[in-house]
Amino acid sequence: MGHGQAAAQLRGGLMAAVTIWLVLPFLLSAAATWLARGYALGKSLLDHPGERRSHAVATPRGGGISIVACVLLGMAWIAVAHPAHRVSMAGLATGLMLVGGIGWLDDHRPLSPLLRLFIQALAALILGWVLYQATGAIQYAALAFVAVMVLVNVWNFMDGINGLAASQAAIAAFGYAWLLGAGPWLWLAAVLFASICGFLPFNFPRARIFLGDVGSGALGYMLAVLLAAAFSLSPAPGPALFLLLLPLSAFLIDAGFTLCMRILAGERWWEPHVQHLYQGWVRKVGGHAGVTLAYAVFSLLAVILMLAAVGWTAFWIVAGAITWYAAGILVWARLRKDVQLSKEAGQ
């Protein structure tokens, strides 16, 4: 067999594996979401319209359980196919079950915020332990802990309109998959991306089921996993962190600055509200789809910048990331001002 023929067969085998790895989770997630919708309707797990909601009709919640189930199956497959990663996958699966499990319970009956934070912190500690065991570096463990605590709650805060939280997670997972290269971390990013895509048709443009806390928390946790993994694998962790934060910039800017404003105003920042930019934007334009797509375009551009900047020097990576965030903050402030002016004009 010639070298060219062998290479062609290798490429063909890889493409077949990638196809199976993307199509199978997609189909399983779609089927599981359909089942979750039937379960939620049967149990009357519904989000009802209200002054702190952006939807107009009662909608089932908890559809994110399908993503959790598919990602757990993917972790099990990775553990079998790559024995050296069994302990890591077991730890990651434990953390995902903790975050997803407390969210699933909260979808059925509201729980104490402190209890949820405690469980999230436990999952964060487990991820930190996994990274420390794999690298022996405490800074990787610390980043993993912070990433879980931030992203789980950011995705929960930002899960308020059709398709927004799921599409943003899918875009970030796609970007991280390109950085993670071949191996178990690539497969993990791929199964997360495919599982989200299986859920999205039920959530966008018309929402037949919401992610629920089980889904939003799980997405934040898995993005923290991928971010921490990519950070630990980078030969230059400092500049890499600036790159890795780019796909998350839309949510970090909106959630972070809205949270700061609520804290400075002395409000109960942990309670539900409608002060995020995306919520005001929906009220202004009268629909979810355009806002979700606008956020998607912003994040796709961020992913393109991240991938383009991989070969840059450390100085230009840091400068590019700072410039992107500065531009994003200016856009956020301008749009928020427009939304406020539109609201005042309508009063």
Q: Which pLDDT value is given to residue 57?
A: 82
Share of the chain above pLDDT 70, in %: 90
Does the structure show a pLDDT above 50 at 107? yes
DSSP notation for 130-170: HHHHHH--HHHHHHHHHHHHHHHHHHHHH--STTHHHHHHH
The residue to which tokens 């979808």 are assigned: 107
Q: How many CB atoms lie within 10 A of CB 286?
A: 7
Mean pLDDT confidence for 148-167:
96
Task: Encode pLDDT of 250-271 as tens digits.
Answer: 999 999 999 898 888 888 777 7
Q: Which pLDDT value is given to residue 338?
A: 83
Q: How many CB atoms lie within 10 A of CB 248?
A: 26
- State the pLDDT confidence band at 10, using cuts at 50, 70 and 90: very low
Does the structure show a pLDDT above 90 at 26? yes
* Closest by Cα among 199, 195, 225 to 94: 225
Q: Which pLDDT value is given to residue 7?
A: 46
- State the pLDDT confidence band at 102, using cuts at 50, 70 and 90: very high
Distance CA 54, CA 282 (A): 8
Task: Encode pLDDT of 167-207 as tens digits.
Answer: 999 999 999 998 887 789 999 999 999 999 999 999 999 99
